[in-house]
Copies of this chain bind each other. A is one copy, B any other.
Amino acid sequence: MDISEIGKFALLDRLNSGFETKQQSTIKAFDDAAVVAAASNKTKQICSAVFLEGIHFNLVYTPMKHLGYKVVTYAVSKIVAMNAVPQQILVSAGVSSRFSVQDIESFYEGIRAACSEYSVDLVENNLTASLTGMTISVTAVGEASENSLCYRSGAKVHDLLCLSGSIGAAYMGLQVLERERRIFETNHVQPKLEGYDYVLQKQLRPQARLDMLKTFEEHGIKPSSMTDIADGLASDILHICKQSNAGVRIYLDKIPIAVETFAVCEEMNFDAVTAALNGGDDFELLFTLPVTDYETIKSLSDFEIIGYITDSSQGAYLVTPEGNELKIKAQGWTFVTE
């Protein structure tokens, strides 16, 4: 069905009706602005992100439902990276005439699944026309008491650098999808995606590590700094170093990479460490803990210690098993020519 047949406001009504309120702090949704309660001694976290077709996602191999799920995961993960509980999201989508009502509904089905998974409420929702493809903006709102918040700026010399799970898989999932797309476009051979479940799942349906908030609470752990792996370990650790005015040593052989990811890397002749460093989209938590926490955490299997914080004068380096030090560089940013 064409969107023009049903009309913007009727379509929005239909899309909004499938969302149930889960958070007590949600006071009003779908007005000029959303209203959330603000309890005493609490703080609100707000993050916002834009996703553009052709830059951040390719609809040739990304099902609309997975896209909806993933954009919510992205925003929720940023709130979790503050050690805060995500509670509400706001969505705006720009869509061109290429998209049907069914496409948009699939997209919102994914958003609904994510809202349910993360217990967040959709409180604002807008649609707009677009000249070219799809544009998505997601804003997430979270809550935390001020003293539980973790900024990127709190890392101290000697702190342990930790990671909540394996990385690089989402990037290799993308490489598989891109390879199959190219093969399909040149030879019209149907994509062969069997056997790549792990990396494809990590790319198409990543999870925000909301469960880690509980782990921290249960063990009385408070990271001195934290961020999530959105741009890749290299860029993300450099954010912590810069904002904490610190250096870092990461042990190359401690970076957690899943065997499934290694297998795909080997098959595609791709360096697994490069995938882990520059890949991004893993949504694992990267955080630092005071070295005095070592006794508490040494037996925990929820995360890995991958290095330690140094003085800023010592720079940011990767340490190879042979003891060589490789400078960590942020990924470049490439502009696309119109």
Contacts and interface: CB of A to CB of B under 8 A. Distances in A.
Interface of A: 2-4, 7-9, 27-28, 31-40, 42-50, 52-56, 78-79, 81-82, 84, 88, 90, 92-98, 123-124, 126, 128-133, 135, 137, 139-143, 146, 149, 151-153, 226-228, 243, 330, 332-338
The 5 residue pairs across chains A and B that have the minimum distance between CB atoms: A38-B38, A33-B47, A40-B40, A8-B333, A137-B137
A229 to B, nearest CB: 11
Nearest to A335: B97
A333 B39 contact: no
Given A32-B226, A49-B126, A52-B135, 10 more contacts: A7-B332, A35-B43, A36-B44, A46-B46, A47-B90, A48-B92, A55-B128, A97-B336, A129-B333, A131-B133
Contacts of A126: 48-50
Contacts of A88: 46
A115 to B, nearest CB: 16
A335 B32 contact: no
Given A84-B33, A333-B129, A44 B47 contact: no
A89 to B, nearest CB: 10
B36 A46 contact: yes
Given A90-B47, A124-B46, A330-B9, A335 B36 contact: no
Contacts of A40: 38-40
Contacts of A54: 131
A293 B35 CA distance: 26
A121 to B, nearest CB: 12
Contacts of A123: 46
Contacts of A129: 52, 55, 333-336
Given A129-B333, A131-B54, A335-B96, A149 B35 contact: yes
Nearest to A45: B33
B131 A31 contact: no
A137 B92 contact: yes
Contact of A90 (B34, B48, B131): B48
A27 B142 CA distance: 14
A109 to B, nearest CB: 21
